[in-house]
Amino acid sequence: MTNKILFNKPFIGKYEKLFINQVIDNKKFTDGEFQNKAKNVISKMIKSKCLELTHSCSSALEISMLLINLKKGDEVIMPSYTFTSTANAVLLRGGKPVFVDVSANDVNLNYKLVERKINKKTKAIIVVHYAGIACDMNNFLKLKKKYNIFLIEDAAHAFLGKFGNKFLGTIGDFGAFSFHETKNFVGGQCGALSINNSKYLKKAQIILDKGTDRSFIDNKKKYYSWKGIGSEYRATELSSALLYGQLKKYKKIFNSRKIIWNKYLKELSLIKSDKFYLLQNNDVLKKNAYHAFAIIFNSLKYRDKYIAFMKKNNIDCYFHYYPLHMSKFGKIFKSHDLSVSEKIYNGLVRLPLYPSLTNREVSRIIIITKKFLKFI
């Protein structure tokens, strides 16, 4: 029997183990050297004005809601086809998520539909760069300027992706990143927040310092004071050490994923059928982050048959988000006209994609996938 091909496998090596052991030896688990090292490396990589490591992408999104002073009754537009954290960040501050449909080709927020939902209560738009493919940022920046609202990037999938010459997560007012073990670069569960609007730098530091002015104390002042709302949002030293180890080999990780993604696209594009299409990037302005490769079938029947067929052949493939508006909790927001999101849920399947996949394993995935696609 052939070996099982897992859906995901973190690419861990000598650097990660070395740096984690250093943290243990140093007995310094907060505010340590690896927090600063990882933060500084990422800032330079993506050219962020100010970047802070957080204990998750979820917390980075929550901080952004505090920064824009979201209040009860304020509305934030976002896709329904996203993870719960995008909406929870809004709900935790008393705001209301307003779900808008995605485009079928790239599964990103449809800017044409977004403008119809903007009203006096709209405080912000959260764009989600699904699978590492950029949203149409030029048009979202126009909406931000036209209506004087905030633009926040959920770049959980999109570290090192670009729109034009700018890195995703550095274009809107704030950008949230994920380094969860399921993402391209792993820091346990940690994340990061890029603060791109310099007006909010001081407020961000106060929030990250649990609502205190600890970061601004000089030698003349002995004690910090409570300045406002904040919490324990910073990444741990252990998570930072793990992430720093990943960043040491970022080119290898990024390029390996790119090669596999492009091989899937090249081979599977040869099959012509009206039963499926491939999630891909056809815009030269959008530089892929290669987080996920997906096949989108035209029905739930084919999606489930494909997953079962791959499982029978010892290969893990998975569907993705259950649209938020379809969940029992999400129905309270009474969303309408989200048919594309529902079709994407019914049809989308993600293939294994990680650096330690061998050429033989990638070829096997392609051969078995072709076998299925040719006969549906």
Give the domain CATH number at 222.
Answer: 3.40.640.10
Task: Give the pLDDT score at 217.
Answer: 76
Boundary-marking domain end, from 231, 247, 263: 247
Same domain, residue pair 189 and 331: no
Tokens of 350: 């993600």
| Distances in whole angstroms, Cα of residue 130 to Cα of each of 29, 40, 63, 84, 217 | 33, 26, 21, 14, 40
Domain assignment of residue 88, given as a range = 14-247
Q: What percent of the chain has pLDDT over 70?
A: 99
Mean pLDDT of 213-242: 87
Same domain, residue pair 21 and 151: yes
Tokens of 123: 């405080």
| pLDDT over 70 at 221, yes or no | no
Tokens of 101: 């449909």
| pLDDT over 70 at 1, yes or no | no
Where residue 219 falls among pLDDT bands split at 50, 70, 90?
low
Contact 40, 53 (CB under 8 A): no
Tokens of 85: 């954290």
Q: pLDDT tens digit string along 192-212? A: 999 999 999 999 999 999 999
Boundary-marking domain end, from 202, 221, 247: 247
| pLDDT over 70 at 226, yes or no | yes
Query: Does the residue 269 lie in any domain?
Result: yes
Same domain, residue pair 222 and 254: no
Same domain, residue pair 297 and 184: no
Same domain, residue pair 215 and 107: yes
Task: Give the pLDDT score at 281.
Answer: 83
What does the angle CA 250 – CA 138 – CA 179 come to, to the nearest 5 degrees? Answer: 25
Query: Does the residue 151 lie in any domain?
Result: yes
Boundary-marking domain end, from 222, 247, 272: 247
